[in-house]
Chains A and B, each alone.
Chain A
Amino acid sequence: MDFNYIALALPDLLRGVRMTLVVSALAILISLAIAIVGAFLRSLPFKPLHYLVTGYVEFIRGTPYLVQIFFIFYGFPTIGLTLSVFWSGVMALGIWASAYHIENLRAGLAAVGNGMRDASASLGLKPLHHGLFVVFPIALRAALPSIMNTIVSTIKNSAYLQAIGLIELTYVAVEKISYEFRAVEMFASICVIYLACIFTVSGLGHVLERRLKRPYLGR
């Protein structure tokens, strides 16, 4: 393994990882926003909305992620919605992750239990306040481990976006290999970089989890 080569390639790789992180961050935000709306709609006592959200989840989870990316990038323009490579990538990744987050939140909501609803109703709390101050925080705590899991997958799955030409970390590596044939050096390097990103994010997740679980004394 030629470490000098890796050192020379590092600036290009760092530009790639910056794109990976930007796309992932936007996709994570979008996916969580879609998921919160989706989980809320599914919790309403109006069956058609329930089927709509469940259909969305099943469709996204039941079709290959790569097909979804191509569908958005190549398919959407024919129905009049042309997105840049960057925004196609963000949308594809965000939509993919949102389906999993909706399921994560479902598990979280199931953990809230009927006792909380009884307590809030008997105290006269409005459904809005009950949702915001009771259901959401409890569900979030319960769902956090699986939400972190999906967030980690979101970052890793940004690599697929090289298929539509997004210049992220994997794209940079593959591109360089096609000119300079240093496959071992490049793939080893990007594995290390991905690992570093993932460890950082899951570490933050553990901190958050501990903080939310901490029954602390005083304030």
Chain B
Amino acid sequence: MRRIRSMLLAASAAALLAAASPAPASAAGSMVVTYKDDVSTLDPAIGYDWQNWSMIKSLFDGLMDYKPGTTELTPDLAESYEISPDGTQYTFKLRQGAKFHNGRELTAEDVKYSIERVVNPKTQSPGAGFFGSIKGWEEVSGGQSETLSGITVVDPRTVRFDLSRPDATFLHVMAINFSFPVPKEEVDRLGADFGKSPVGNGAFKLAEWTLGQRVVFERNPDYWKQGLPKLDRIEFQIGQEPTVALLRLQRGEVDILGDGIPPARFLEVKNDPANEGLIVEGGQLHTGYVTMNVKTPPFDNVKVRQAVNMAINKDRIVKIINNRAVPANQPLPPSMPGYDKNYKGYAYDPEGAKKLLAEAGHPNGFETELYANNTDPNPRIAQAIQQDLAAIGIKANLKTLAQSAVIQAGGEGSAPMIWSGGMAWIADFPDPSNFYGPILGCGGAVQGGWNWAWYCNEELDKMAAEADALTDPAKKAEREEAWRKIFIRIMEDAPWAPVFNEQRFTMHAPRVQGDEALFVDPVHIPVHYDDVSVAQ
């Protein structure tokens, strides 16, 4: 949830000068990126916030990665991989020549050690849950064991994972930060301070860190990927207000706005012809929605939930946030595999909504509570929703609280309605299953879970498990179709009212160059640090 800095709070970065000639691969240089908040840690087992997520991706590599600018998986530290026909065994062959920054070559032991470290409760990692399908996970996460029985070091360059169930998302899990190998000797040496002096094997290494002011990366000269990184040095300046950062970018002192274009300046910046070509727009794996607690009346009645879906004027809400989003009609965002382009959803229809309410036995509406995060723009969006609900007779009292308190209320089931903005949900990896299990599946509908609608449909859980058992890459389309069905079925039950999907607007200085897709990379946000370059 920490990673959920919504783009509205912080749109994102860079762009390219109107098709400037591509920089030669050898071109080197330095780039300045600004962030407002501190970078907390660069330990891949722990880092889970807006700033450090992509920084860690440049300091460390994983077994898998995505082709820059896309959501297409590709082997990275793994040279090749094999999946057993039943989908429960994944074997990775490691690449030769990938070295840690301390000069030691990566081995299969490192892969095993690093994942066990994340799952071990002593590490207090927010990523432990991603590895739940590996055999022996319960024992390690429960503290009874320190080694995962499901990870076997076959030889120094081969590692095998045995899963307790077929898991089609496992390759994505091997691309997520928490799975990135770390060198045991350095973790032992540095202890809890590993996150402040990380030793990785990525394109960059840490050169300097002045707490609260500056983090500097420099090129890893021994990096195994030819021609990468394209920059010699990246300086991250911390404590920079987005408004100030924008002015400095216009003055040429800053290359990329880590927190994006400040919302309040967005219209002015976007409408200024001088910025043409500097702002790149792209989708992101985010949906903002209203949850309705299906366990408590009146939201236990599907007609009431459908009425709420029809009552919300999504176009107006998108306008309120200056059109920096697109209206949503289903849980999945458009750039997510499995999104149904043909689904129309519930159209805005207050009269129809009133009729449904009357049919549900509430001709005069009812009173309820709508929880929301208290950071701008969420109280405003909640007020807009409140007005729409009032129009069909639902009197929703607002509870705007700190995110920790809203998350608590959602996890306890004490919140009838929650506006998710500022807290949920941005996908951790580009796969539809990540939009189901924790937030719409039965597994998340538990005390302390994130399924704030408490929606639990055993049949859909079964369908989801079947979809995730389709591990054969050849069955990708079939799997996407299965997920599409699941999400459309969910919309029939309407535990959520999806409101919008945020768009990313990345602004960069003219001298920063690279393929346009690098600036709206769905995984590396705000930009793919390894692949962009600067004009000399």
Partners in one complex: no
Task: Give B contacts to A, CB under 8 Å.
Answer: none
